[in-house]
């Protein structure tokens, strides 16, 4: 009898929590439109506002500053725009400065013209180069508008944590705005939009155990806001029109509640599993390169290269052995292209890397089996050293 498969791709999507599933199913029975004033509508509205409060707690923000979207990509496109308003007064953003390791949803620049998106390099250990950011902002033309900086809190491929508070201080010193992609960090590190110094945070439901199809843009306040991306009936205080996805938001709320509980304790247990796996990997292949292992990372992520084995070949080999992992970002791994993150860090991206990402349901037995599969796959590499 074949062994059960092991899911080790939590950064791509986290398994749906039972409480989130129950919340979705319960909300599916609600009849009312949350914009309707009758009783059925008020019940639906109450659920949406409860979700807003739960997401705000997770992010250390005020509920009124939470804007629900269809996901993190939409939230990024809402935030990344040259057109803002300060109250009723138009506010122009001149350039967008993004780190070279951003998720494609941010790296593409949202609604900015391509020539107005400036890439900021990272160091060889995968951390944004703050000296280079300072240099870029010091030459920013204020006549074009204010600068905006976008940086992720935790990289989706390497798991490396970025110095967001330092970036925020640099952005503030130059009169700029800061947008932080907290998609992979939510539920894995404590979040506070104030402590980070961010003007906006982006999070996603399905990365914390909620359903796919829901996300949020969280603002520090309500005065300075981007122009709407989706216009229509004026839902979400006019920031994002369209009837709210009540069942998805119910599941998002349940996941946010769970993600906010004992983050340090949960992540310590997961880090112990990851460290055990990496120790076994080093035994199984002494030449394995674990990217970011010498800098702060989120607890659940291992991004590694096996010399002589191409990432796509390795991904298939693991899959055939019953282990689901990824070759980089899930949003682009279907194309199996070269990792822009590895390129930014100065590595030859042609061989690529594989990502193992685990979570609360990962067991010690699964870690041991994954290590065995790793050793098996490593042993099959071509003896010539040529990438398979």
CATH class label, 6-15+263-379: alpha beta
Owner of token pair 């930014």? 344
The CATH code that applies to domain 21-259 is 3.40.640.10
**What pLDDT sits at residue 195?**
97
Provide the residue ranges of all domains of the chain, joining segments of one domain with +. 6-15+263-379, 21-259
What is the pLDDT, as a whole number, of residue 362? 98
CA 330 to CA 73: how far, in whole Å?
13
* Annotation says 130 is catalytic: no
Task: Tell me the CB-side half-sphere exposure of residue 248, using CA atoms within 13 A.
Answer: 16
Dist CA 133 CA 124 (whole Å): 16
Give residue 1's pLDDT.
Answer: 40
pLDDT given for residue 2 in this prediction: 57
* Residues composing the chain: 388
Q: Which of 59, 130, 331, 370 is catalytic?
A: 331
Q: Which residue has the tokens 């983050």?
A: 263
- Helix H, strand E, coil C: the string for 358-373 is CCCCCCHHHHHHHHHH
pLDDT per 10-residue tile (average), the chain, 388 residues: 85 98 98 97 98 98 97 98 94 97 97 98 97 97 96 98 98 97 98 97 98 98 94 96 97 98 98 98 97 96 95 95 84 61 89 95 98 97 58
CA distances to 164, 258, 259, 286, 355 from 289, in Å: 26, 34, 31, 9, 12
**What pLDDT does 3 receive?**
77
- The pLDDT score that the predictor gives to residue 327 is 86
Residue whose structure tokens are 């990217």: 291
Q: Check residue 333 and give its pLDDT.
A: 44
Whether residue 21 contacts residue 251, with contact meaning beta carbons closer than 8 Å, is answered with: yes
SS3 85: strand
Tokens coding 245: 């996805």
**In angstroms, rounded to a whole number, what is the distance separating the alpha carbons of residues 303 and 305?**
7
Contacting residues for 375 by C-beta, under 8 A, at least 6 apart: 280, 283, 284, 285
- Asked whether the beta carbons of 61 and 218 are under 8 A apart, the reply is yes
Nearest to 259 by CA among 81, 106, 55: 55
Contact 129, 120 (CB under 8 A): yes
Give the whole-angstrom CA distance, residue 45 versus residue 244: 9
């Amino acid at each position: 009898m074949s062994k059960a498969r092991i899911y080790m791709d939590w950064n791509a999507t986290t398994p749906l929590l039972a409480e989130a599933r129950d919340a979705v199913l319960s909300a599916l029975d609600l009849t009312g439109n949350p914009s309707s004033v009758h009783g059925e509508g008020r019940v639906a509205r109450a659920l949406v506002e409860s979700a807003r409060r739960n997401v705000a707690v997770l992010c250390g923000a005020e509920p009124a500053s939470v804007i629900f979207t269809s996901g993190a990509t939409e939230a990024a496109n809402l935030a990344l725009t040259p057109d803002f308003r300060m109250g009723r007064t138009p506010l122009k953003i001149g350039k967008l400065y993004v780190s070279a390791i951003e998720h494609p949803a941010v790296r593409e620049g949202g609604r900015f013209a391509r020539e107005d998106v400036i890439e900021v390099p990272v160091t060889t250990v995968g951390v944004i180069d703050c000296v280079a950011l300072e240099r870029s902002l010091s030459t920013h033309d204020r006549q074009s508008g204010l600068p905006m900086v976008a940086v992720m809190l935790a990289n989706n491929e390497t798991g490396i944590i970025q110095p967001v508070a330092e970036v925020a201080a640099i952005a503030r010193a130059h009169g700029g705005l800061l947008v932080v992609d907290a998609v992979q960090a939510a539920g894995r590190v404590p979040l506070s939009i104030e402590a980070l110094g961010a003007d906006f945070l982006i999070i996603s439901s399905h990365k914390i155990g909620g359903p796919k199809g829901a996300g949020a843009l969280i603002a520090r306040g309500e005065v300075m806001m981007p122009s709407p991306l989706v216009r229509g009936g004026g839902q979400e205080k006019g920031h994002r029109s369209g009837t709210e996805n009540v069942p998805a938001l119910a599941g998002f709320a349940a996941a946010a509640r769970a993600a906010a509980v004992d983050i340090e304790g949960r992540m310590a247990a997961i880090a112990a599993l990851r460290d055990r796996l990496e120790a076994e990997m080093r035994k199984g292949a002494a030449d394995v390169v674990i990217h970011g292992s010498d800098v702060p990372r989120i607890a659940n992520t291992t991004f590694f290269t096996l010399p002589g084995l191409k990432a796509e070949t390795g991904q298939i080999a693991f899959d055939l052995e019953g282990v689901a992992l990824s070759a980089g970002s899930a949003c682009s791994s279907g194309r199996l292209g070269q990792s822009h993150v590895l390129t930014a860090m100065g590595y030859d991206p042609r061989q690529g890397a594989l990502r193992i990402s685990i979570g609360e349901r990962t067991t010690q037995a699964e870690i041991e089996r994954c290590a065995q599969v790793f050793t098996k796959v490593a042993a099959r590499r071509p003896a010539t050293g040529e990438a398979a």
